[in-house]
Amino acid sequence: MLQVNEIRENKEQYIDALAKRGLDATTVLENILKADENRRSSQAKLDEVLSQSNTFSKEIGNLFKNGEVEKANELKAKTGELKETSKQLQEQLNDAAAQLQELLYTVPNIPHSSVPAGTDENDNEEVFSEGDIPTLSENALPHWELAKKYDLIDFELGVKITGAGFPVYKGKGAKLQRALISYFLDKNTNAGYTEYQVPLLVNEASGYGTGQLPDKEGQMYHVTGDDLYLIPTAEVPVTNMFRGDLMPHTELPITCTGYTPCFRREAGSYGAHVRGLNRLHQFDKVEIVRIEHPDNSYSALDGMVAHVKDILRDLKLPYRILRLCGGDLGFTAALTYDFEVFSTAQDRWLEISSVSNFETFQANRLKLRFKDEDGKNKLAHTLNGSALALPRVLAGIIENYQTPNGIKIPEVLVPYCGFDMID
């Protein structure tokens, strides 16, 4: 969530920056500033009435002591009137604050200066690529056919149990999935990230804290009886562990990793591009989250990008990195790099990680602050990334490592899964 004082000081720059997202923010930013003026005006009037009421209360006590009962009763009557006025002003203040908050929730984060303008994924900017795309035989299969051939994943059984988008992993498919999770977690903890196991359900405050609510409410599974939400990513519970915290600057950075199943409704997703593991309603993901001093957050983002690069080098998968354009940038992000693995059998790129800096956008919602060296309380910067999302990594491995005799296992995973070939 943007800060009102920053909007007031940088309105024109923010309008220009948000235009990269294809958004004309002129009206909404002006409405935010008007709503803030109403809130401050109501607050000032309320403060004045409360101050006058306190003054009268002190005078009433002195008048009674001095035997001036009539004057004391007159002031008591005025104090009663002031209490009614203060109630009305408090309601006005609450309404003004709620209106301001609702308006602020509608505005996405300000894109970083390096974010290119653009409308959709076609305008994203490739900034890096690495790895050789393997040459497969003419009979090479996409992962959903390989999964059936080698009895690794049963998509139909998932439909029977739950519905489309809930696959059942079997045998070596399940072991390979578990191996990837363990490898990713070990890689992250060896890099200094502390591992957490977190709840898979979060409350509404947590959804608002990291920006899934109200922006992505339709994409989240809502447990209506308890007003809880199934998490779309571990980013939500992990980042919310620090909601409302005020920490000394010496505790920064805070680095976390966690494995969770993730749940997304993916409403409106259909077609060949969502076949197999390409788009699921339930999938596994290992996440990394950082709480950083603002001075260090972009060097930390570069470090996260380098960390994901290292994982993909270990897996020996061909990949590229895209800097997302304004039109494809997530609502809460200031800058995002997407990692994509090339699926040789599908002849297309598959997104397997997003690494983002949210700057103070989430921290302002979370009231996540630190006390700096100068003694002032400041908003921290939050960052997160997938390291990694499993379905498309698994798809990339199955497709790119297939041979006429079976599917090879990347060397780095063999100690984790206990076999080097699926045949």
Residue 173, pLDDT above cutoff 80: yes
Residue 183, pLDDT above cutoff 60: yes
pLDDT in tens, 280-307: 999 999 999 999 999 999 999 999 999 9
pLDDT given for residue 372 in this prediction? 97
- The 8-class DSSP code of residue 338 comes to E
From the candidate CATH numbers 3.30.930.10, 1.10.10.10, 3.40.50.970, 3.90.1490.10, the one assigned to the domain spanning 121-422: 3.30.930.10
pLDDT given for residue 269 in this prediction? 53
Q: How confident is residue 59, by pLDDT bands cut at 50, 70 and 90?
A: confident
Residue 268, pLDDT above cutoff 70: no
| CATH architecture of the domain with residue range 4-105 | Orthogonal Bundle (1.10)
Residue 79, pLDDT above cutoff 80: no
Backbone angles phi, psi at 154, to 5 degrees: -115, 100
> pLDDT: is 338 or 84 the higher one?
338
Sign of CA dihedral 210, 213, 219, 225: positive
List the structure tokens of 153.
């994943």
Q: What's the CA gap between 232 and 163, in Å, rounded? A: 18
Residue 248, pLDDT above cutoff 90: yes
Domain ranges in the chain are 4-105, 121-422
pLDDT given for residue 344 in this prediction? 87
Residue 50, pLDDT above cutoff 90: no
Residue 232, pLDDT above cutoff 60: yes
List the structure tokens of 93.
């203040």
